[in-house]
Amino acid sequence: MSTDIVDLRQFYHSPLGQMAIASIGRAIGTVWPRLPDERLMGLGFTLPYLEMFQSGAERTFAFMPAGQGAVNWPPGALSATALVFDEELPLPDASIDRILLVHSLEFAENPREALKELWRVLAPGGRLVVVVPNRRGVWARLEHTPFGAGRPYSRGQLTSILREANFTPGAFAEALFFPPYRKHWMLRLCQWMEPFGRRVMPVFSGVIVVEAQKRLYQGLPVFARSSRRVFVPVLSPQGVPTSRDAAASLPLDNASSPVYGHPV
């Protein structure tokens, strides 16, 4: 189950959340140094990180999973967010150059189907950056942050699932090398722990960041996948079946043909 949008916003507005933005933002910047006039889509809760690339990209927008909720973004401008199902994105094939996933893959109902849908909407040579909680890290074991919910991954698990979805994993990076303390005096100490942890124990980082590229040289089976969801309008009147409706539903030959008795 996805973390609620209210909890996500509350976390990122806290001092601990601001430190998390700085740490994860540096890691994303090492695998994506710049986006020259490209179309960038964020899936999950990516708003604090999309702002880093908004000025250099051709267009930037955010999709938020239905189980999480959505908010307007950017503030003071026309909204560039939408509520979606991660397995059925409302985009044509090969329409996006870059995709950023934060607070998304660990909450996906079917991660492989979600990655295949991202493969569909990515343009040839398009790139994907995934940010997920590290299975070995402290952040995945504590529940007072969004990184303590969902399904954490190791490097090997992340590599396997990306390859199954026809992505080629590339550069890796790590972030959140300090423990998720909430007290202000501990947060000041954590600022000194970040560079130390990056050099000494990167395997125990709080999150893993990986860039992957859409793979095209492998033949893919083509099949039609029917939607697993049935959409019912909220205010659609259903009505109550009556005897007249039951008679109208009878076959025409049964309703009009006479009834004959058996011969004596």
Q: Among residues of the chain, what percentage have pLDDT more than 70?
A: 78
CA atoms of 130 and 105, how far apart (whole Å): 8
The residues near 180 (Cβ < 8 Å, ≥ 6 apart) are 16, 138, 139, 142, 144, 145, 147, 206
Would you place residue 1 in the very low, low, confident or very high pLDDT band (cuts 50, 70, 90)?
Answer: low
CA atoms of 168 and 193, how far apart (whole Å): 32
pLDDT of residue 244: 54
pLDDT, tens digit, 9 for 90 and up, residues 8-64: 999 999 999 999 999 999 999 999 877 788 999 999 999 999 988 888 888 999 999
- Nearest partner of 176 among 17, 66, 43, 4, judged by Cα: 17
pLDDT of residue 250: 52
pLDDT of residue 198: 76
pLDDT, tens digit, 9 for 90 and up, residues 182-212: 777 666 766 677 777 777 777 889 999 999 9
- Assigned domain for 257 exists: no
Q: Is the pLDDT of residue 245 over 90?
A: no
- Assigned domain for 225 exists: no
Burial of 1 (0-12, 13-18, 19+ CB in 10 A): exposed
Segment 250-258 shows an average pLDDT of: 47
- Assigned domain for 9 exists: yes
Segment 80-91 shows an average pLDDT of: 93
Q: Is the pLDDT of residue 145 over 80?
A: yes
Which of the residue ranges 51-55, 97-101, 233-237 has the most confident prediction, judged by mean pLDDT? 97-101
Domain count, the chain: 1
- Assigned domain for 153 exists: yes
> Which CATH number does the domain housing residue 67 bear?
3.40.50.150
Looking at per-residue pLDDT, the higher value among 231 and 211 belongs to 211
- Assigned domain for 248 exists: no
149: its two tokens: 């919910």
For the chain, the average pLDDT equals: 83
Looking at per-residue pLDDT, the higher value among 179 and 93 belongs to 93
- Assigned domain for 156 exists: yes
- Assigned domain for 134 exists: yes
pTM: 0.80
pLDDT of residue 240: 47
Tell me the residue range of the domain where 84 lies.
5-214
